Structure formats: C-alpha cells, structure tokens
Chains A and B, each alone.
Chain A
Amino acid sequence: RKEVEQDPGPFNVPEGATVAFNCTYSNSASQSFFWYRQDCRKEPKLLMSVYSSGNEDGRFTAQLNRASQYISLLIRDSKLSDSATYLCVVNRRNSGYSTLTFGKGTMLLVSP
C-alpha cells in the first residue's frame, strides 16, 4: 500500500460548485497532516494544516479521521483560480525528526 494515496482526477467542476478530495495514508503513527496546492510548473504551496477536530479556512474545510486513516478537503463556491493540483501530505517520523510524504495529487479544473 502506498504511503499516501489520492484520486488523481481530474475533477472538472463549474464555478460555484462544491468539490471534495479524499486521501488515505498507511502510517498510523503519522501526527501531522497538510494539504498543499501546486499550480502548473510552480512549487507546492501550503494550503492548510489538518487538525484532528477538523478546521476551516474561508471556503476550504479539512477533516481528519485517524481511525480510518483518511483526510479530506472540501472546497465550497469554487473559483477559476482554484484550478490546481492538490497534494495530500503526511509526516513520517524518523529517528529524532520527521519528514513529509506527498501524495501524487488530485487535479482540479474549474470552468466558467
């Protein structure tokens, strides 16, 4: 099983739609979870951290289910500018420090 798995998409949605992405991770010891956004030919940028109780940042809501090892991202009222690849990211603890493992990403295309 891959460390972090995502549906690659693409998800094609109209402006204003609500869209949800899911992600599963294999390492039950993971403690930190993130969603990153990557635009074409650009570096990944942190979108939001994911907390156990779930968290919201404007139109974006992230949820974590530790029992199922599952993370989700909900985008409401999609904008054209939301078109990007969304990367699910999970930490992996090594001896003394942690590193991040990236999913392959889910591509979102928002059309007028």
Chain B
Amino acid sequence: SAVISQKPSRDICQRGTSLTIQCQVDSQVTMMFWYRQQPGQSLTLIATANQGSEATYESGFVIDKFPISRPNLTFSTLTVSNMSPEDSSIYLCSARGAADTQYFGPGTRLTVL
C-alpha cells in the first residue's frame, strides 16, 4: 500500500482567502484523487488529479474554486479558493493501488471563519 502525507494537517482561515493543500505519495501512482468529507457525512469526490493535464472534476465542483495541480506521479496540490464557511471540511488526498483499491492521506482539517 502507498503511504500518503498531506500538509497542512489543519488550518483556520478567513473568508475570501485561499489555501493550498499538498499531497505526497511515497511511490509512483497512476491515479490520485481529492475528496471532501463534511461533518457527519461520507466522502465526496472533488476531482481526479491527472498527471500533466487538467483535473477531471465531479458534478458540483469547478476548477476556478478548486484548482488542482499534479506535476508528477507522486505529488498533487488542491487549492480551495475564495473560501467561505461552507468550505469548512476535511480534505483528503487519495492514491489508487492495485485492483481499484485506494489509500488515503491523513486529511487536512479546514475551518473557515
């Protein structure tokens, strides 16, 4: 299984600002994903981070709000732009393993005031 690290682990931000979350995988992986988990809810896929091309966003998520980079096979960033309190959530990076399994980073706990 892949070991995934994220930073920051948590942050408290003012509305209107932006935060970039970094995700590092300890091995090369073909697919990386970004999820959001709001309090009491399950995981919602934001987008698939594609290496060397634009991310593929799920319905309800757009690039202007959640720009994603993936410059190589082990690293990705997610930016939460122009934040509002509704963006308060845990953001999780994930990498694809064998046979469709996925492994998750420890998450970034974001609070927007």
Binding site for B on A (CB under 8 A): 31-32, 34, 42-46, 49, 87, 91, 94, 97-105
Contact = CB atoms under 8 A, between A and B. Distances in A.
Interface residues of B, number: 21
Contacts of A32: 99-100
Nearest to B43: A102
Interface of B: 1, 31, 33, 41-45, 48, 56, 58, 92, 99-107
Given A42-B106, A43-B106, A99-B33, A34 B45 contact: no
B92 A49 contact: no
Contacts of A101: 45
Which one of B92, B100, B104 has the highest number of Cβ atoms from chain A below 10 Å of its Cβ?
Answer: B100
Nearest to B1: A46
Given A102-B42, A103-B42, A104-B42, A46 B48 contact: no
A100 B105 contact: no
A105 to B, nearest CB: 6
A87 B99 contact: no
Contacts of B58: 99
Contacts of A87: 42-43
10 contacts: A34-B100, A42-B106, A42-B107, A43-B107, A45-B104, A49-B99, A97-B31, A100-B45, A104-B41, A104-B42
